[in-house]
């Protein structure tokens, strides 16, 4: 039996040793631009990373990834780690985001969901009644998806101290919409119908998905991730009243659980088309609010306070239009982030307002990174 020994404090348990190593790593990374900005502290430059930065826009990704479901690639820790590292090497971004998918927990517990290339998450038998909840059993990361933690451990050893790894999970509503609709939707008619016709079942489903998200994020953080993002990509389809009644309590539960188990860890909340929900999404408890391109950074701070830390929010379509247009878009985002003294507000993480599109030219994304650094270097 192996023991852990500290020359200063004598013997300590393996769990204590792990927490000690994480604390040391956290101290080393305290000057990482991403972590500073996430706390609202001034960094050497505005940090930048991209949602879906690891993906089909990269030729090295296409060469390595192969065909088939993304879930097959995620189950190979070495491959998942390599795909996570590719955009860090290419662009020099300030954060790595784990190569994974928001439906991993539901898939891993055997609900019957896959990610169809060109379509997205699909279920052969969507969740439509109480009996279907039995297929959505609680998620045990170590038993059900050990490959995720293994990939995180590899990345924690490979990444430089200045580049933290971001964990992520799907917010309960967005994952529920896939399980209930059975595939991506524009109307969410089945999801909204279940909310209003069987609220008891709805809340039971959401509580189970809170457990999935919380367990997944905790495991990723325990294995070395230094921040996390909760993706509620499709919450913008809801009215404010429906969001507050049917979604907010459950998203709040995720943030509260992670704040209790991993205090001071940067927590990002992001959704598409959610300008009408921003106050509620912020009330859920994140430390950073992700904005899409429809919301002005300055307006978000007017509404929620000047100390609001934001992430975003270049329109991905501008990146598709070429270097000149993309860089003009960067300038507009940075202008929107200026404080009352005309300086860049410290609480800003530069990102797109949604994910990188597959047909994006990597040279344009590199130009975006370079422009952000050039314009914000202290």
With contact defined as beta carbons under 8 Å apart, do 97 and 53 qualify?
yes
Question: Which of these is catalytic: 61, 99, 147, 178?
Answer: 178
Q: Which two tokens stand for residue 261?
A: 């188990």
Question: Which of these is catalytic: 65, 208, 218, 226?
Answer: 65
Instruction: Find, among 160, 192, 157, the residue nearest to 176 by Cα.
Output: 192
Report d(CA 140, CA 218) in Å as an integer: 11
Report d(CA 365, CA 295) in Å as an integer: 21
Contacts 24+ apart (CB under 8 A), 266-269: 266/34, 266/35, 266/38, 266/39, 266/226, 266/227, 266/228, 267/227, 267/228, 267/229, 267/230, 268/38, 268/166, 268/227, 268/228, 268/229, 268/230, 268/311, 269/171, 269/229, 269/230, 269/232
208 is catalytic: no
With contact defined as beta carbons under 8 Å apart, do 195 and 246 qualify?
yes
Q: H-type helices in 262-358, by residue range? A: 278-283, 297-304, 316-320, 323-336
Instruction: Find, among 347, 344, 317, 346, the residue nearest to 331 by Cα.
Output: 344
Which residues, in sequence order, are CB contacts of 252 under 8 Å at separation 6+? 283, 284, 285
Question: Which of these is catalytic: 61, 90, 99, 101?
Answer: 101
341 is catalytic: no
Report d(CA 248, CA 172) in Å as an integer: 10
Determine if the peptide bond prior to 313 is cis (ω within 30°). yes
90 is catalytic: no
178 is catalytic: yes
In 134-258, the DSSP E strands lie at 165-170, 227-231
89 is catalytic: no
Which residues, in sequence order, are CB contacts of 54 under 8 Å at separation 6+? 61, 83, 84, 86, 87, 97, 99
Question: Which of these is catalytic: 56, 128, 137, 303?
Answer: 56
Q: What length is written for the chain?
A: 378
Pairing of strands 288-290, 310-314: parallel
Which residues form the catalytic set?
A: 52, 56, 65, 101, 178
């Amino acid at each position: 039996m192996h023991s852990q020994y500290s020359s200063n404090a004598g013997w300590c348990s393996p769990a204590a040793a792990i927490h000690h190593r994480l604390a040391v790593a956290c101290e080393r990374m305290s000057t990482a631009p991403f972590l500073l900005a996430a706390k609202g502290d001034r960094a050497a430059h505005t940090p930048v990373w991209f949602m879906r930065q690891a993906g089909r826009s990269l030729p090295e990704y296409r060469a390595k990834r192969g065909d088939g479901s993304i879930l097959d690639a995620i189950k190979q820790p070495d491959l998942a780690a390599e795909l996570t590292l590719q955009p860090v090497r290419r662009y020099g971004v300030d954060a790595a985001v784990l190569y994974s998918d928001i439906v991993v927990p539901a898939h891993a517990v055997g609900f019957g969901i896959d990610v169809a290339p060109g379509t997205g998450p699909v279920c052969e038998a969507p969740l439509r009644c109480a009996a279907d909840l039995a297929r959505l059993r609680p998620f045990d990361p170590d038993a059900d998806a050990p490959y995720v933690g293994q990939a995180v451990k590899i990345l924690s050893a490979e990444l430089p101290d200045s580049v933290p790894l971001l964990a992520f999970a799907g917010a309960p509503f967005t994952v529920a919409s896939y399980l209930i609709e059975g595939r991506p939707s524009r109307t969410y008619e089945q999801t909204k119908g279940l909310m209003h016709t069987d609220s008891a079942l709805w809340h039971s489903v959401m509580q189970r998905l809170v457990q999935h998200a919380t367990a997944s994020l905790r495991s990723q953080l325990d294995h070395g991730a230094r921040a996390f993002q909760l993706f509620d990509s499709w919450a913008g389809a809801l009215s404010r009243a429906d969001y507050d009644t049917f979604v907010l309590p459950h998203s709040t539960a995720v943030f509260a659980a992670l704040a209790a188990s991993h205090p001071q860890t940067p927590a990002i909340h992001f959704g598409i088309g959610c300008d009408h929900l921003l106050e509620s999404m912020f009330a859920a408890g994140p430390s950073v609010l992700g904005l899409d391109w429809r919301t002005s950074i300055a307006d978000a701070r007017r509404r929620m306070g000047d100390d609001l830390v934001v992430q975003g929010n270049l329109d991905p379509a501008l990146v598709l239009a070429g270097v000149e247009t993309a860089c003009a878009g960067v300038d507009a985002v940075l202008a929107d982030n200026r404080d009352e003294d005309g300086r860049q507000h410290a609480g800003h993480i530069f990102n797109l307002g949604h994910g990188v599109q597959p047909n994006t030219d990597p040279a344009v994304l590199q130009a975006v990174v370079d422009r952000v650094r050039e314009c914000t270097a202290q």
